[in-house]
Chains A and B, each alone.
Chain A
Amino acid sequence: MRGFLGRCSAALSAGLGLILLTQLSPLVSADDTFTYVSDLVRTISLACLAIVVPLILLGLVLGYIQVAGPWGGMRTLRKSGRTQIEMGYITLFLFIITPAIFFIIMEIGKSLGGGWPQT
């Protein structure tokens, strides 16, 4: 019941916030606010995009160093390196196929009658 009421109040607050944002504020127009937030999200996304590939490659290199390093008896370190390499390749694979998955989801949505947001 508490969760239910919490969700209701959260939805109500969000709705009221939206109404305040779009209807009642004479100083800041809703378009400006949305543009600002969208730009902020886009900038952060681009920054993430810029560092994600180097980070994946760095993880792979570190993993290979752990596996191939000159520390004969340290099995834990080698095992950790193998996990790191495995994780790095899966992440890289996911990163590469993500646009394809997005495209498939989008096409399914379109074919079922869904529209794509015209920004």
Chain B
Amino acid sequence: MVPPLPPPLPPATENAALLGLALGFATLSLLLGFILRTLPYRGYQKAGNELIEDGFISFALISMISVIIGTFSVAAFILYGNSSMAVMYQGYYAYVTGAKNGAFVMITVIGGVLWALGMANVGVGIVAPGVQPFLPLSLTFQSQIGPWLGMVQATYSLMVALESLAHILEDKLLVLVAFGCVLYAVPKRLTRAAGGAMIAWPLVFYFGLPFMPTFVKMYGSATYHEMACTLTSCPAFDSLNPLSGNWQAILSGLLNFGALVSEDAAALIWMNFFLPLLWVGILSLAAAGVGRILGGYVSLVEQIL
């Protein structure tokens, strides 16, 4: 059975002025090229050939830009298993929100335990001045899980940044691509490479970002148990059992808790910080490649002339 085609892209309204400007630049390149070709100096004629070639290529790119976006769209439609981009982005936002919540809970748990140890220390110090029974424990615990705290906070920040990036791309893809066309068509190849990059980066990231949850699941740690701590339950915290009154049990529970939190923090950082960063890096390389293809020089017209 033939799968249904993806829904068409929204009509070009916001980007029409930009594409019109790009078209004007392409025409200007062509006319300047014709003028330079008529001048009786070899150097000017070569420059004229270059301008004519650039004008034609820019014109072709502007005419085909919807085709390029459509090709990306169809490829994504096939790769995503016949899901539309809107559905894929829903999955992406769910993943980002989950990762953000996980990081937030982790920050709260680690920060809460460190705060509780500090407060217990202060409380005992008030009752018996000069005695700080929780200080060694606090320092041990802090050295055990403290270093994870910064990375978990960085994970939260990264997820917020990726969420914002996806929102910008969803809203402004066509405008960014149209602006890339304008830069691409400026005469004398002044901003051609920047234009190619400006077209490639939004396109690759728009169609590549929703793959991130799949990539993370594929290469995530098998031992990761979906954040042991949630907003409603925290098995690691239960192991602490602070109301038992048995100090030895509390101590071992605390160390056990530290070990579990460390494991979860490491898994969370691996899955929601390093793997997303790796995926962004892969997309960046792909975008640089596409940008290089678009911004490269094809001297077909020059050879014909």
Which residues of A are in contact with B by a Cβ distance under 8 Å? Answer: 3-4, 6-8, 10-11, 13-15, 18, 22, 31, 34, 37-38, 41-42, 44-45, 48-49, 51-52, 55-56, 58-59, 62, 80, 84, 87-88, 90-91, 94-95, 98, 101-102, 105-106, 108-110, 112-119
Contact = CB atoms under 8 A, between A and B. Distances in A.
Contacts of B176: 15, 18
Interface stretch (B20-28, B120-128, B226-234, B236-244): B20-28
Given A109-B67, A114-B70, A118-B13, A7 B27 contact: no
Given A15-B179, A31-B17, A101-B56, A10 B197 contact: yes
Contacts of A105: 56, 59-60, 63-64
Interface in B163-194: 175-176, 179-180, 183, 191, 193-194
B131 interface: no
B198 A14 contact: yes
A85 to B, nearest CB: 11
B66 A114 contact: yes
B66 A109 contact: yes
Contact of A98 (B23, B30, B60): B30
B295 interface: yes
B179 A37 contact: no
A55 B35 CA distance: 7
B37 interface: yes
**Most chain B CB within a 10 A radius of its CB, from A56, A87, A113:** A113
Given A49-B31, A91-B34, A114-B63, A7 B295 contact: yes
Interface in B271-302: 288, 291, 295
Given A10-B194, A34-B18, A45 B24 contact: yes
A38 B22 CA distance: 9
Contacts of A87: 37-38, 45
A114 B24 CA distance: 19
Contacts of B13: 118
Contact of B179 (A8, A18, A49, A106): A18
A101 B59 CA distance: 10
**Most chain B CB within a 10 A radius of its CB, from A3, A18, A58:** A18
B214 to A, nearest CB: 26
B21 A37 contact: yes
B70 A113 contact: yes
A8 to B, nearest CB: 7
Contacts of B59: 102, 105
Contacts of B34: 48, 52, 56, 91, 94-95
Contact of A48 (B32, B66, B194): B32
Contacts of B197: 7-8, 10-11
What 3 A-B pairs have minimum CB-CB distances, sorted nearest first?
A: A117-B19, A109-B63, A10-B194
A1 B62 CA distance: 29
